[in-house]
């Protein structure tokens, strides 16, 4: 634990889901038998297009829920790799509902909850997607709220999404610690007034954007010490 926490006076931790709590690579990896050595390429294409579609739909005002966007992004990725198999598409979508949590997540959440820290998820995912992921990982008792962008009808990084956490938890933005492995998400949350720790799992370069996060973690195991718990 650091001698001086990166953040103080934190009442709740709010987590991004995909890439932060849950390993998006585990989905395609779970279909390695069918995909062979193409699983990583598919995973990267799928994730990249999934995010692009959320941003484009947000900018154009053509919202669709994250389940639809995820399926459309998968269709693009499969077509790009010459994979024309509806059964494989369905299997991968089913696996998305059973996405794996990162190894340090259960113990980190349990420790924070035991010390009275309020916990929530704030995600592009639909309520059904989030409920399935949390249940599959055995984390159902850890979170006070599973907050979906469907409550505000627009994807991240729209400011309404980040302010939803403050409204639903009835806490000021400055008492919320937001955790995301996605740099664009972390920077956007900070710009909206949250305290932010960037969970930089893959060693990304810092974004060239205003409102940089308050600190950086390699994974979530360092979170309790970073907020003084």
Q: 28-83 pLDDT, tens per residue?
A: 999 999 999 999 999 999 999 999 999 999 999 999 999 999 999 999 999 999 99
Q: How high is the mean pLDDT of the chain?
A: 97
CB atoms within 10 A of CB 32: 12
Per-residue pLDDT band for 1 (boundaries 50, 70, 90) equals: very low
pTM (2 d.p.):
0.97
pLDDT of residue 179: 99
Percent over 70 (pLDDT), the chain? 99
Residue 149 · residue 50 · CB < 8 Å = no
Per-residue pLDDT tens for 171-183? 999 999 999 999 9
Its sign, for the CA torsion 95, 98, 104, 105, is: positive
CATH class of 12-23+100-226: alpha beta
Q: Indicate if 16 belongs to the active site.
A: yes
25-96 matches 12-23+100-226 in CATH topology:
no
Q: How far apart are CA 8 and CA 227, in angstroms?
A: 6
Q: What are the strands of the beta sheet with 145-148, ordered from one edge?
A: 145-148, 118-123, 12-15, 176-180, 195-199, 215-217
Mean pLDDT within 132-158: 98
Least Cα distance to 181 among 197, 206, 200, 157 occurs for 200
Per-residue pLDDT band for 5 (boundaries 50, 70, 90) equals: confident
pLDDT of residue 157: 98
Q: Residue 28 is inside which H or E element, if any? A: helix 25-29
Active-site position among 9, 16, 65, 85 = 16
Assigned fold of 25-96: DNA polymerase; domain 1 (1.10.150)
Q: How far apart are CA 62 and CA 155, in angstroms?
A: 11
Distances (CA, A) of 42 to 6, 24, 32, 68, 116: 37, 11, 11, 18, 40
One DSSP character per residue, 105-119 reads: HHHHHHHHHHTT-EE
pLDDT exceeds cutoff 50 at 105: yes
Per-residue pLDDT band for 2 (boundaries 50, 70, 90) equals: very low
Q: Where are the domains of the chain?
A: 12-23+100-226, 25-96
């Amino acid at each position: 634990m650091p001698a001086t926490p990166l953040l103080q006076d934190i009442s709740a931790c709010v987590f991004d889901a995909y890439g932060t709590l849950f390993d998006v690579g585990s989905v395609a990896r779970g279909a390695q038998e069918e995909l062979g050595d193409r699983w990583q390429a598919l995973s990267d294409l799928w994730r990249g297009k999934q995010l692009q579609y959320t941003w484009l739909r947000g900018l154009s005002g053509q919202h669709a829920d994250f389940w639809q966007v995820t399926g459309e992004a998968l269709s693009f990725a499969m077509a790009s790799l010459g994979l024309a198999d509806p059964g494989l598409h369905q299997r991968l979508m089913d696996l998305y509902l059973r996405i794996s949590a990162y190894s340090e997540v259960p113990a980190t959440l349990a420790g924070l909850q035991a010390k009275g820290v309020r916990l929530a998820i704030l995600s592009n995912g639909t309520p059904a997607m989030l409920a399935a992921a949390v249940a599959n990982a055995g984390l159902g008792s850890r979170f006070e709220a599973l907050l979906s962008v469907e409550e505000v009808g627009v994807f991240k990084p729209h400011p309404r999404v980040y302010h939803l956490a403050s409204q639903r938890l009835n806490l000021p933005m400055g008492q919320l610690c937001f955790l995301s492995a996605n740099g664009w998400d972390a920077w956007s949350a900070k710009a909206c007034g949250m305290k932010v720790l960037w969970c930089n799992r893959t060693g990304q370069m810092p974004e060239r954007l205003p409102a940089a996060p308050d600190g950086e973690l390699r994974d979530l195991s360092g979170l309790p010490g970073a907020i003084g718990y």
